[in-house]
Amino acid sequence: MREEFLHYLWQHQKWKAMKLHTTEGIDLCVISPGRINTDAGPDFFNAKLKIDQQLWAGNIEIHIRSSDWYAHQHHKDNRYNSVILHVVWHHDVEVYREDETSIPVLELNKYISKTLLKKYEELFQSPQSWIACQNSLHKVSKFTTNAWLERMYLDRLERKANELLHDAEQSKYHWEALLFMQLAKSFGLNVNGDAFYQMAISIPFHVIQKSQYDVLELEALMFGQAGLLNQDVNDKYHQDLKQKYLFLKNKFSLVSPVLRPKFFRLRPDNFPTIRLSQLASLYHQNSNLFSDWMKDWEVKEFYTKYRVKASQYWDLHYNFGVVSKSKAKYLSKNFMELIWINTLIPMRFVYFRYLEQDNSEKIMTEMQGLKAEHNSIVQNYSKFGLEAKNALQSQALLQLYNTFCRTNRCLSCEIGNTILKASEKSIRDD
């Protein structure tokens, strides 16, 4: 039994059609279960009850066992003095407020259908190879899943916006510098995103601007601050970069971050050497990148204008001093789509919010016009009948998995609620 299920039972009043009584046998009537609280404090606010014909208004606290009240130290917390009912699955001890007045208790296990309980356990508590509801996903209507995925994408966009606004405040709203940090993180992808982000933070943006007209200088800064020039390599290009970097490090008093990029288990095109050279080329070829990116772009125009390549040395290399088959290392269309989705869109959203303009509808339309991303999470959902049709939905599935599915918050999810409601209907029909 999980508290989340008890929250669901209380919120939706899922007990048998019978009169309720407290553990002391007093008549109880729920007029309103209250509003769920997602912050600290009691679980439901502003409930209305009748206890022994007396009208009560206040808060509700829910636990598996009554003794959890003491385990969670609620008897010492004045936020719980307004609790008018303690809803539990098992009543094992009497509970009291901070002022030692007793709290009425409703023991739910006496009022819940065993068939419903069994169905819940089958749906959400049986061991699964991936997520709890995977075998029921295909039964949920497209209307329900599409509406919920839109909500998930907006939640994801809001989360990113809050993080970006915090970084914007730290940088004193230097939007060009903020874009550089976010681009660096995106160029590092999942494996090296944090290392690239630390590299970007460690270089004051005015240093990037001063070096922008010399691509070798930009590469020296980025490679050096990423810790990729620490070794001695018998390679003239590496030696030139290292010499230039040591001069710049001393000139601008740069301190290298601790986190270093990784090569392990990466496709060669995603090696940090290639991605950092491409990032340097992007800034070498484009000044005032932020102001340009805030303009209205057609996707094809964006791809054409910003499809940069790593510098010429990397045509024959993936790592320093190791010659490989000749290949120009351009940014791929798929990679540029990821930049659009993960950097350009959130930056636009945050910047226009800063200007007190709402561009969320435009962003939703843009995302629906981009193809869905391909990753293991999106592919698994597709395998079980929930397929992403566009980038908005693939981003939404990442949010859904990380926020609900991975932590088994099934009953806080509209899809999980729909599945359980369908099972309740089948119980009634039977």
Lowest mean pLDDT among 14-18, 108-112, 201-205, 413-417: 14-18
Burial (CB < 10 A; 0-12, 13-18, 19+), residue 317, is: buried
Q: Can you read off the two tokens belonging to residue 244?
A: 């230039």
Residue 75 to residue 69: CA distance in whole angstroms: 7
Does the residue 121 lie in any domain?
no
- pLDDT for 363 equals 94
If asked whether residues 152 and 64 sit together in one domain, one would say no
Same domain assignment for residues 249 and 326? yes
In a domain, 338, yes or no: no
Do 326 and 381 have their domain in common?
no
Q: Is residue 392 part of a domain?
A: yes
Tell me, yes or no, whether 239 lies in a domain: yes
Same domain assignment for residues 180 and 325:
yes
> What's the predicted TM-score (pTM) here?
0.79
CA distance 398 to 386: 12
Binned at pLDDT 50, 70 and 90, residue 11 comes out as confident
Supply the range of the domain harboring residue 369. Answer: 131-170+343-430
* Same structural domain, 389 and 325: no
190 within some domain: yes
359 and 318 in a common domain: no
Q: Note whether 67 and 93 are within 8 A (CB).
A: yes
> What is the band of 420 on the pLDDT scale with cuts at 50, 70, 90?
confident
Report the candidate in 174, 175, 197, 202 with the shortest Cα–Cα distance to residue 186: 197
Q: Are residues 202 and 347 in the same domain?
A: no
Is 39 inside any structural domain? yes
Q: Are 363 and 415 contained in the same domain?
A: yes
**Residue 320 shares a structural domain with residue 205:** yes
Average pLDDT over residues 241-270: 94
Alpha-carbon distance 281 to 210, whole Å? 15
Total structural domains within the chain = 3
Same domain, yes or no: 11 and 92: yes
Q: Are residues 312 and 235 in the same domain?
A: yes
**DSSP β-bridge partners for residue 85:** 60
97: confidence class by pLDDT, cuts 50, 70, 90 = confident
Please calculate the CA angle 37-39-40 and round it to the nearest 5 degrees: 105
Q: Which of these three, 112, 145, 161, is where a domain ends?
A: 112
Flag whether 194 is in a domain: yes
Residue 410 lies in a domain: yes
Regarding whether 156 and 71 lie in a shared domain, the answer is no
